[in-house]
């Protein structure tokens, strides 16, 4: 997307529609309900300024264990910048529920509330249930158990007023010494990763929350951690790492795909500038959109991570991500 043209409008409208849906289950009055939601979305969108429409594309980090000054600063950003959503990290469930209500009240447009909860809300919050790591789940023979786990995790998310889980991890762990994916992957078999990823996302989706497959185009072969710095997968990445995404899309997956901060010399573009996948039109437009025909929402990994922060300014990063 370039500029603020019609595709951009439809992207923002899609986000707003998601905020009005509590479930993806088909009902008899679904079309009528969708029509009503579309009218509401159009009315909201038409009253947003250009700056506010751009802000709707942005998530801001939120914690519930950093005190009043931090909480007030997040609320100020919501009120002044009209951001699209929040991603909650460390804290506690009671505090998060209270803050979510407070932040939603401060927002003119309802916030999309998300968490990176690969093994449940216990990954981030104290006194909450955690489920097995994906590596453990990779050994399960009955994938229906993973589907049910996805439903349980979705129920926990909804109790806290959240709409989205940045999961499942669809990386194939084809490097056993991978310093960051490892036990977060379902394993090194493309079929197993695909089947279990599909079961997990369907469980969450059928229970009424959004999901985000990650880390496109594949973080499993990497020898470095993109949280810490530059990650070059030019010599380690294998096209087989796209297979789990193909399996997802074949199931009609149209939620979110998170693109990693992963550099590949064959897909970098822009001269000598080493663009990671999250900023690369070659990966996002040519491969993800055109070759794999993904029709859902593309979202970048955290822009505060070392792989981005150490090499690109924030403004340049945001512009490149949207243009990609």
pLDDT tens readout for residues 257-299:
999 999 999 997 666 688 999 999 999 999 999 999 999 999 9
- pTM for this entry: 0.89
pLDDT tens readout for residues 104-156:
999 999 999 999 999 999 999 999 999 999 999 999 999 999 999 999 999 99
For residues 261 and 226, is the Cβ–Cβ distance under 8 A? yes
pLDDT, position 191: 98
Domain-located, residue 120: no
Domain-located, residue 29: no
Domain-located, residue 35: no
Structural domains counted in the chain: 1
Residue 273 phi/psi, 5-degree rounding, is -70, 125
User: Considering the chain, what percentage of its residues have pLDDT values greater than 90?
Assistant: 81
How would residue 35 be classed by pLDDT, with cut points 50, 70 and 90?
A: confident
Integer angstrom CA distances of residue 257 from 5, 6, 170, 309: 22, 21, 10, 21
Domain that holds residue 301: 132-145+166-324
Lowest mean pLDDT among 11-25, 26-40, 51-65, 278-292: 11-25
pLDDT, position 272: 66
Separation CA 162–CA 113 (nearest Å) = 5
Separation CA 162–CA 263 (nearest Å) = 32
Residue 138 phi/psi, 5-degree rounding, is -65, -20
Domain-located, residue 196: yes
pLDDT, position 286: 96
Q: Which CATH number goes with the domain that contains 254?
A: 3.20.20.300
Domain-located, residue 183: yes
Domain-located, residue 34: no
pLDDT, position 38: 83
Q: How many CA atoms lie within 13 A of 174 on its CB side?
A: 21
């Amino acid at each position: 997307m370039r500029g603020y043209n019609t595709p951009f409008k439809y992207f923002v409208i899609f986000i707003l529609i998601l905020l009005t849906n509590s479930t993806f289950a088909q009902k008899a009055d679904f079309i009528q309900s969708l029509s009503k939601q579309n009218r509401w979305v159009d009315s909201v969108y038409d009253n947003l300024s250009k700056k506010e429409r751009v802000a709707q594309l942005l998530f801001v980090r939120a914690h519930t264990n950093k005190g009043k000054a931090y909480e007030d600063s997040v609320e100020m950003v919501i009120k002044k910048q009209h951001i699209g959503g929040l991603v909650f990290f460390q804290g506690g469930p009671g505090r998060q529920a209270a803050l979510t209500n407070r932040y939603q009240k401060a927002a003119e447009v309802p916030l999309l509330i998300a968490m990176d909860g690969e093994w449940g809300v216990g990954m981030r919050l104290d006194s909450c249930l955690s489920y097995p790591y994906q590596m453990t789940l990779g050994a399960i023979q009955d994938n229906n158990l993973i589907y049910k786990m996805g439903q349980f995790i979705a129920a926990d998310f909804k109790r806290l007023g959240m709409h989205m889980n940045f999961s499942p991890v669809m990386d194939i762990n084809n490097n056993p010494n991978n310093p960051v994916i490892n036990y977060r992957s379902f394993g090194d078999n493309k079929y197993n990763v695909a089947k279990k990823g599909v079961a997990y996302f369907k469980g969450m989706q059928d229970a009424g929350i959004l999901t985000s497959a990650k880390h496109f185009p594949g973080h499993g072969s990497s020898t470095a951690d993109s949280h810490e710095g530059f990650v070059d997968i030019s010599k380690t990445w294998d096209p087989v790492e796209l297979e789990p995404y193909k399996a997802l899309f074949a199931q009609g997956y149209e939620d979110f795909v998170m693109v990693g901060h992963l550099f590949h010399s064959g897909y970098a573009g822009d001269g000598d500038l080493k663009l990671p996948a999250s900023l690369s039109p070659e990966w996002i437009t040519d491969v993800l959109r055109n070759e794999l025909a993904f029709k859902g929402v593309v979202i970048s990994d955290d822009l505060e991570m070392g792989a981005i922060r150490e090499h690109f300014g924030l403004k340049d990063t945001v512009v490149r991500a949207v243009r990609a």
